[in-house]
Amino acid sequence: MIALLLAAGVALAFSLAATGWMSRALRTRGVIQPILVKDALNVAVPEHTHKRGTPTMGGLAIIGSAAAGYVASHLRDGVVYSDQVLVMWVAVLVMAGIGLVDDLIKVRSGHNRGVLWRVKGYITLGVAIGLAGLLVVVTDIDMRISLTRADLPGWEIGAVAWVLWAGLIIFGTTNAVNVTDGLDGLAGGAALFGFGAFAVIAYVVFRNPDLYPAVIHPFDLAVFAASFAGACAGFLWWNAAPAQIFMGDVGALGLGAALAMLALTTNTQLLLPIICAINVVEIGSVALQMTAFRATGRRRRLFRLSPIHHHFELAGWAETKVIIRFWLLAGVAVSIALAIFLADFTDLAASR
């Protein structure tokens, strides 16, 4: 437990300091986020012109601070690095790297969409499948579809199908977090809840190895999750409305990869949509909007604007009201997910 608190505390401290420094340094260098006036369908977006001049790519501070917390925790005797978590770090850095390239293109072109935006989906999908394959090759990860543990429901689909399944989870989660990152602190706050949930799950698994034999190095997974939770908390100090810095794609894709990898390695893949319910709703609203718009010959829309947080802004909700209410819903969803996990843990422990 001390290592977890150390990881979270160091990551929090580093994130507070690094994000503040980055905010000032990037603003001075003109590394600012272009603000969209109309969406791809030429629909006016909520009034966000006051955000012009806000620096971006703050996700670098999140990932760097999480790494600092993770490494600091391993200075304690008995805390060891695992090959599984090292692969997870590779996934985070690779996805964050894709986001960083796109962020740089946006800044230099002065446009809200980077040049990569038309092909970024294909790139991230291919990379996600590759990362899932790396996880299988390098580690002894259990390849069953699972809810709260490997044998529940424990569907076996074969190595190739599992790699595709896991790749889709990584791809979907990274893009869902990216879509959520549209209001100050929304994506960071939701991710904080998610990492907190995975820290609890991994720690419970660590304390009960006989009940969860399929999870590899659960304590290292808990430290990884705690590090990202602390880094997100520190970042929110600067990213809360009105934001002094945005995380950018580098942060959103990195956080999404971390959350997806935690679900895969803790055998809670089917629990992930509940833990990340806000992200699911956000990206789902985009998919529904596009489907309805195309099905009606580009005449009708389900929402005033998607992602759905913009719909509520156009309905008259203040940005802070949308953010706080979505945070509350994220907290409720995470509580439900943890209740499902702990209820199964209680039943499993009672049956042994």
* CB distance 202 to 258 below 8 Å: no
> Is residue 25 situated within a structural domain?
yes
* CB distance 167 to 125 below 8 Å: yes
Confidence of residue 121 (pLDDT cuts 50, 70, 90): confident
* CB distance 125 to 171 below 8 Å: yes
Q: Percent helix, strand, coil in the chain (nearest 5)?
A: 70, 5, 25
Average pLDDT over residues 150-162: 96
pLDDT score at 42: 44
Whole-structure pTM value: 0.94
> Is residue 318 situated within a structural domain?
no
DSSP of 59-80? HHHHHHHHHHHHHHHTTSTT--
Tokens, residue 73 = 């925790």
Q: 97-112, pLDDT tens digit by residue?
A: 999 998 988 888 776 6
Query: Count of CB atoms within 10 A of residue 300's CB?
Result: 9
> Is residue 302 situated within a structural domain?
no
Confidence of residue 288 (pLDDT cuts 50, 70, 90): very high
> Is residue 64 situated within a structural domain?
yes
CA neighbor of 310 nearest in space, from 181, 194, 188, 193: 181
Q: Hunting for tokens 């994130």 — which residue is that?
A: 15
- Assess whether pLDDT exceeds 80 at residue 285: yes
- Looking at the structure of the chain, the number of domains it has is 1
* Kind and range of the H or E run holding 344: helix 319-351
> Is residue 334 situated within a structural domain?
no
> Is residue 47 situated within a structural domain?
yes
Tokens, residue 66 = 């999480």
> Is residue 167 situated within a structural domain?
yes
Cβ burial of 198 (10 Å; 0-12, 13-18, 19+) is buried
> Is residue 152 situated within a structural domain?
yes
Please name the amino acid found at residue 343.
A
Domain of residue 162 covers 2-270
- Assess whether pLDDT exceeds 90 at residue 67: yes
Average pLDDT over residues 211-238: 97
Q: At what angle do helices 120-138 and 248-265 cross, to 10 degrees?
A: 40
3-class state of residue 55 by DSSP:
strand
What is the widest separation between alpha-carbon atoms in the chain? 63
3-class state of residue 155 by DSSP:
strand
Report which of residues 48 and 351 the model is more confident about: 351
